[in-house]
Chain A
Amino acid sequence: MGEDLEAVVQQLKELVADLSVDWTRPHPNRVYISVEKQNVRELGRIIFEDFGARFATATGSDVGEELEVIYHFAYDAVGLVANMRVRTPKGDPVVPSVTPVVPAAEWIEREMNDLVGIVFEGHPDPRRLILADNWPEGVYPLRREHRDGA
């Protein structure tokens, strides 16, 4: 009790100001923080350690020409959800892993690697997680081309 949403958002905004390239707040309880991919791990560390938000999950999606990863952090004291958003072109689907600083991201990054084909550089254990053992390498079921070809 006692923490003020506006003060918390302001604090977060100051913490991430140096690294974020875009800040949007479509709803009072939700902020989207876009980041260049070389700064993903540092910004993840700032939100997780310095700001003190809880890592909820991450989502990977195919947005056409690019792949997008959104890490969802929750700050439960005021009900704030902070989303760190990074995009990478399909030709170079490599994003630095945040698992070294946020251990809970390990399995969801492996899952995104399986399903969307995003390679997380620096991941401690990048084995296949949920696809069947006999699933072919290099086929990503949640990519648009897989859906269109099916």
Chain B
Amino acid sequence: MSVVERMKLWGLKKSPWVYHLNTGACNNCDIEILELLTPRFDVERLGVLLAPSPRHADALLVTGICTKQARPRLQEIYRQTPKPCLVVCIGACACTGGIFHDGWHFDGPVDEAIREVDPDAMIIYIPGCPPKPEAMIATIAKALGDL
């Protein structure tokens, strides 16, 4: 690994800026993400900052099944995110399709859509309906520790 790559990874782990992306969620996971960012859990004290654009982000927080309309947009946003970046599938729907796996609007789980663009993408999964904010913090901390 080159020095530049090591520095990029250090920057990602030191303070991951996240971009929140809803690809067809019911809003429940999104509410839990807001819970993370607001004073009760306040992940900003750990260096996690909500970024206003995917071009500024280190991690994509993806919620919801990947709908037919959202799939090309999700892939475009992944392309716009500077690499290395993490894709965090939040909730049962983003991980597997959940209860909507045979829905007419479903177009494959989120990881499938991302791997179509980048087979080596770093994808982490936080199942739950919705996952608890503690679970999200623990998973992201664990993932960053493993990098």
Contacts and interface: CB of A to CB of B under 8 A. Distances in A.
Nearest to A135: B68
Contacts of B104: 141, 146, 150
Contacts of A133: 69
Classify chain B's interface size: under 10
A141 B105 contact: yes
A134 B67 CA distance: 12
A132 B102 contact: no
A141 B106 CA distance: 12
Interface in A57-83: none
Interface in B77-114: 102, 104-105
A135 B71 CA distance: 13
Contacts of B102: 150
A104 to B, nearest CB: 23
Contacts of B105: 132, 141
A148 B67 CA distance: 21
Interface on chain A toward B: helix, strand, loop, or mixed SS?
loop
Interface string B37-80: 00000000000000000000000000000011100000000000
A142 to B, nearest CB: 8
Interface string A112-150: 000000000000000000001111000001000010001
Nearest to B104: A141
Contacts of A135: 68
A133 B104 CA distance: 14
Nearest to A134: B68
A135 B67 CA distance: 11
Interface in B23-42: none
12 contacts: A132-B67, A132-B68, A132-B69, A132-B105, A133-B69, A134-B68, A135-B68, A141-B104, A141-B105, A146-B104, A150-B102, A150-B104
Given A134-B68, A150-B102, 10 more contacts: A132-B67, A132-B68, A132-B69, A132-B105, A133-B69, A135-B68, A141-B104, A141-B105, A146-B104, A150-B104
